[in-house]
Chain A
Amino acid sequence: MTIAIHTRGLVKTFGRVRALDGLDLTVEPGEVHGFLGPNGSGKSTTIRVLLGLLRASGGSAMVLGLDPWRDAVAIHRRLAYVPGDVSLWPNLSGGETIDLLTSLRGGADPGLRARLLSDFELDPTTRGRAYSKGNRQKVALVAAFARRAELYLFDEPTSGLDPVMEEVFRREVERVRGEGATVLLSSHILSEVEQLCEKVTIVRAGKAVESGSLSELRHLTRTSFHVATGATPAELAALPGVHDVHREADRLAFDVDTDAIGPVLTALTAAGVSAMTVAPPSLEELFLRHYGDRVES
């Protein structure tokens, strides 16, 4: 099977701004791939190049084995796309927009369309101008899911949705994954990617800085401990792989490298523990490490 998406050294410049600066991205068929990065890191630009809406300034890009700029229409017959900021025709109702968008790639499956409208709790008779941001997003999502595709591209698809609707979205992604489709999901919401994606590419300033499965990437992070213990800060800090020990109220807080967790637990048990919380490494921390930002809360 051909690789679903493959870019090598992708460059896109707007005037003097380098939006993409040698981006590598590989998405295998049938995988749900998270495309993570902060706002302005080049996620949307990459997707627009993959859709042939923008022309790459350098490097190469292949989508479903075809050149996205030259063979845009042939590729588009096989994919569904939901932009990050959906804008609708003010005078068309949601139902009309869904039918228009699906007709232009072959027509919606009527049963699927009806089920999606009810699952997403979307009123199709409302006019485009009267929808909220979240409902505009739902119109685009229903249009994308109402006809099967080989490849789904989602640009921050849940940015306007409430948690219940995010759950509906996750279910639909699971469904199309079950049907063998490939999904590229851009996001800066980490929990969403953690729950849905088996592979992740992290992008920053137009470059992919990290790519792999979630478990491959977790080795990069540290586990956070909050412990009420008899051990002193100095004793803990002396252990290999322990970082940033400090006191928070009646507890000690510190981070531990993944491969040093065992010895640290042994030492803690010896010193006595009356309460402990251990937070798994989250993608939040991956970001913080890559962008060198401090936690601000």
Chain B
Amino acid sequence: MAVLGQQLRRDRVVLSIWIVAIAVLLAGSAAAVSSEFTGAAARAAVLQLGLATPSLLALRGIPNGDSAGSLLWFQVFAFLAVAGGLMNTFFATRHGRADEEQGRRELLAAGAIGRLAPLVATAMLGLLANLVLGVLSALGFLVAGYDGTGALVAATGLTSCGLAFLGVGMLAGELAATSRSANSIGVVAVLLAYALRGAGDALGTPHFEKLTLTPSWPSWLSPIGWAQQSFAFTENRVGPALLPLALAALAGGIAFAVHARRDLGASLLPERSGPAHAGVGLRSMLGLAARLARGALIAWAVGGVLLGALIGTLTNAVAGVAASNPQITQVLKAFAPNRQDTVGLLIGAIMLMTGMMAAAAGIQAVLRVRGDETDGRAEPLLALAVSRARWLGSALAVGLAAVAVVLVLAGIAAFAGLAASGRLSDSWRAVEQALAELPAAFTIVAAAAVLIAIVPRASILLAWLVFAAAIVIGLFGPLLTLPTGVLDTSPFSHVPSVPFTDWGPTVVLLVVDAALVALALVLVRRRELSS
């Protein structure tokens, strides 16, 4: 009991943020679905589009009729299950492998408690957290105006999925030697569950007249896929909603069995060793920055490629639906205001999102420098023949390169996708549009470097705030009809749409980028190391 209390105290903030954020996401999207798509006809149109487009089915889920509940289930459940899954695997690692790694567990295990007590406490606290999440979810659906039974079934599905991933997370903690690899296993498990059901749904058989789908077998390999089959708000099947609990019991049970038999600090999978010598690529500051950014950059680049490829698969379907549904054209227009044709709208909207992803990849690469500084790794580097300008400059160069990699790969993927669907003339426009986003994404990344140079302690927070502001203004500003003065503060508001007629804004952005880079490199010379 004491262990449980201590874990709860330590985690109250992080866990609360996760739960509240998921509940807010849920209530917000539930409200949006019911307000944006009024009337069965509008909903049926969207769901027709979804059923006809495998990539949308893969991203979203399975509808079941033209009711608002069906559309909601299609739109949000898989996302919520992923968010809840990540919450649980990270939670399990915080109280499992991370504790062991940092020696807190040793302190605890030396006390008068059983070997399994910390695991029991983690399981109980996790159960509690998922129940709270379940109750808040049910309330969220009710507040957004959906019926009580459906809300209950949906919340049950979400809770049992969460518990399944709690079990998986606890098992990952027994398998992996470090909290980092335990978290990786957890994230991979959650994404795999999402992807399996995505593949199963995309390959399933759509029934257009009933507006539903029979998924193919891969969906049945995923706890998210099981819970989806409960069709909350329409059929309300409780059995599938509870099925993930079996996985929770299985994975949790194995975790307990392993934990009872292993030594403190041991793990089933040994830590992999690394090379005894550094490759030529790692023997410089640029090499170091590139190496540290590599893992995350690969993930961002895959995301960019998927988004780019999406354009090709969506174009034909969207063009067909948009012709009959002005509402969809309206939404796309808000993202890319200067466009007339639907395909151009789609290219503009998706490349804008890709540009923001690229900016995030770049910011992450630059901010790594600040992490090195606070953790004490910058000190030995700066005690070598490395100036502060070179130290920050290397990370900034890699950050800018990361932006280019993500956008260029997304452009190529879009090109291939559009060419494959027989729209060769549009495919060049996609590449040009991807390149047009570069200067805007550069601005955000260079701004992060300036922040590191002038306000090191606040730089991480401020850099992400700048990014978030640019996203909110760039993506939603036109929808929210913000005044032009506010819109102009986001570099993404100045990205022209292909075909370009006015290069002015792009040139201005590039000048601003160069000025920010110079400013960061000059100002960082003047400052001390700060922890």
Give the B-binding residues of A (Cβ under 8 A).
Answer: 48, 51, 53-55, 72-73, 76-77, 79, 81-83, 85-93, 95-101, 103-107, 123-127, 129-130, 140, 143, 153
Cβ contact within 8 Å between B380 and A81 = yes
**In B384-405, which residues have CB < 8 Å from any A CB?**
384-387
- Interface segment, one of B153-161, B275-283, B437-445: B275-283
Interface check B117, CB cutoff 8 A: no
Interface-located stretch among B2-10, B284-292, B301-309, B492-500 = B284-292
Q: Please determine whether B384 and A104 come into contact, CB atoms closer than 8 angstroms.
A: yes
B114 contacts chain A at the CB level, 8 A cutoff = no
Give Cα A278–Cα B285 distance, bound, in whole angstroms: 56
**Chain B residues positioned under 8 Å from A153 (CB to CB):** 383
Residues B380 and A103 in contact, CB atoms below 8 Å apart: no
Given contacts A83-B379, A88-B377, A100-B282, contact A93 B384 (CB under 8 A): no
Partner of B277, one of A90, A99, A126, A140: A99
A107 contact set on B, CB distance < 8 A: 283
A54 to B279, CA, bound (A): 32
Nearest first, the 6 A-B pairs at minimum CB distance are A93-B274, A99-B278, A103-B283, A125-B273, A95-B276, A81-B383
Query: In the bound complex, what is the Cα–Cα distance between A58 and B277 (angstroms)?
Result: 43
Contact-size category for B: 35 or more
Complex Cα gap A225–B380 (Å): 46
Check if A96 sits within 8 Å of B282, measured CB to CB. yes
Find B273's partner among A99, A100, A126, A140 (CB 8 Å cutoff): A126
25 contacts between A and B (CB under 8 A): A53-B528, A72-B382, A72-B387, A73-B386, A87-B375, A95-B275, A95-B277, A96-B274, A96-B275, A96-B279, A99-B277, A99-B283, A100-B282, A103-B283, A104-B384, A123-B273, A124-B277, A125-B274, A125-B275, A126-B273, A126-B274, A127-B271, A129-B180, A140-B380, A143-B380
A125 / chain B contacts, CB cutoff of 8 Å: 273-276
CB distance from A99 to the nearest CB of B (A): 3
Q: Which residues of A contact B274 (CB under 8 A)?
A: 91-93, 95-96, 125-127
Judge if B178 is at the interface, Cβ distance under 8 Å: yes
A82 CA to B276 CA in the complex, in Å?
21
A43 to B180, CA, bound (A): 34
In the bound assembly, the distance between CA atoms of A72 and B377 in angstroms comes to: 18
A54 to B295, CA, bound (A): 32
Q: Which of A54, A96, A143 contacts B529 (CB 8 A)?
A: A54
Contact, CB under 8 Å: B380 / A127: no
Chain A, Cβ-Cβ closest to B386: A104
CA–CA, A189 and B196, complex, Å: 59
Binary contact track B497-531/A, C-beta < 8 Å → 1, others 0? 00000000000000000000000000000001100
Are the C-beta atoms of B380 and A101 separated by less than 8 Å?
yes
Residues of A within 8 A of B375 (CB): 87
Q: Which residue of A lies closest to B529 (CB)?
A: A53
Which among B177, B272, B375, B379 has the highest number of chain A CB atoms within 10 Å?
A: B379
B383 to chain A, nearest CB (A): 4
CB-nearest residue of chain B relative to A143?
A: B380
> How many angstroms from the CA of A126 to the CA of B276 in the assembled complex?
8
CB <8 Å contact, B288 and A100: yes
B251-279: contact bitstring with A at CB < 8 Å (1 yes, 0 no)? Answer: 00000000000000000000111111111
Residue positions of B touching A, CB distance < 8 A: 177-178, 180, 271-279, 282-285, 287-288, 291-292, 295, 372, 375-377, 379-387, 528-529
- Known contacts A53-B383, A77-B385, A89-B377; 10 further A-B pairs (Cβ under 8 A): A55-B528, A76-B386, A82-B380, A89-B372, A90-B178, A99-B282, A100-B283, A125-B276, A130-B271, A153-B383
Give, as a whole number of angstroms, the nearest-CB distance from B274 to chain A: 3
Q: Which residue of B lies closest to A51 (CB)?
A: B383
B275 to A73, Cβ gap below 8 A?
A: no
B270 to chain A: closest CB distance in Å?
10
In whole angstroms, what is the CA distance A204 to B372 when docked? 30
Q: Which residues of A contact B276 (CB under 8 A)?
A: 93, 95, 124-125
Q: Is there contact, CB below 8 Å, between A103 and B278?
A: yes
Contact of A76 among B178, B283, B385 (CB under 8 A): B385
- In the complex formed, the residue of A with least CB distance to B181 is A129
> In the assembled complex, which residues on chain A have CB atoms less than 8 Å from the CB atom of B376?
83, 85-87
Chain B residues with CB below 8 A from A73, complex form: 385-387
Closest B residue to A69 using CB positions: B528
Q: Which residue of B lies closest to A76 (CB)?
A: B385
Contacts of A100 in B (CB 8 A): 278, 282-283, 287-288
Shortest distance between the CB of A26 and any CB in chain B (Å): 21
Partner of A53 from B178, B282, B377, B379 at Cβ < 8 Å:
B379
Q: What is the CB-to-nearest-CB distance from A73 to chain B, in angstroms, rounded to a whole number?
A: 5
Q: Name the residue of chain A whose CB is nearest to the CB of B274.
A: A93
Across the two chains, which residue of chain B brings its CB closest to A50?
B383
Interface centre among B275, B287, B372 (most CB of A within 10 A): B275
Residue of A nearest to B372 (CB): A89
Q: Once bound together, how far apart are the Cα atoms of A83 and B379, in whole Å?
A: 8
Which A residues are CB-close (under 8 A) to B285?
Answer: 104
Chain A residue numbers with a CB within 8 Å of B387 are: 72-73
Closest residue to B288 on the A side, CB-wise? A100
Q: Is the CB of B383 within 8 A of A76?
A: yes
Please determine whether B180 and A90 come into contact, CB atoms closer than 8 angstroms. Answer: yes
Please, how many angstroms separate the alpha-carbon atoms of A129 and B97 in the complex? Answer: 13
| Interchain CB contact (< 8 A) of A48 among B180, B384, B386, B529 | B529
In Å, the complex CA distance between A58 and B337 comes to: 58
Q: Does B385 lie within 8 Å of A51, measured CB to CB? A: no
B-side contacts of A51, CB under 8 Å:
382-383
Cα(A96)–Cα(B280), bound, Å: 10
> In the complex, what residues of A have CB within 8 A of residue B284's CB?
103-104
Which residues on the A side are within 8 Å of B273 (C-beta)?
93, 123, 125-127
Q: Are B177 and A93 in contact (CB under 8 A)?
A: no
Q: Which residues of A contact B385 (CB under 8 A)?
A: 73, 76-77, 104-106
A104 contacts across to B, CB distance below 8 A: 283-285, 381, 384-386
> Which residue of A has the minimal Cβ distance to B390?
A73
Chain A neighbourhood of B383, CB < 8 A: 51, 53, 76, 79, 81, 83, 153
Q: Which residues of B contact A105 (CB under 8 A)?
A: 384-385
A123-B274 Cα distance, complex, nearest whole Å: 10
If the complex has contacts A95-B276, A99-B283, are A89 and B292 also in contact, measured as CB distance less than 8 A? yes
Task: Write the nearest CB–CB distance from B407 to chain A, whole angstroms.
Answer: 26
Question: How near does chain A come to B364, taking the closest CB pair, in angstroms?
Answer: 15
Question: B384–A76 contact, CB under 8 A?
Answer: yes
- Max chain A CB contacts within 10 Å: which of B178, B180, B274, B528? B274
Which residues of chain B are within 8 angstroms of A55 by Cβ–Cβ distance?
Answer: 528
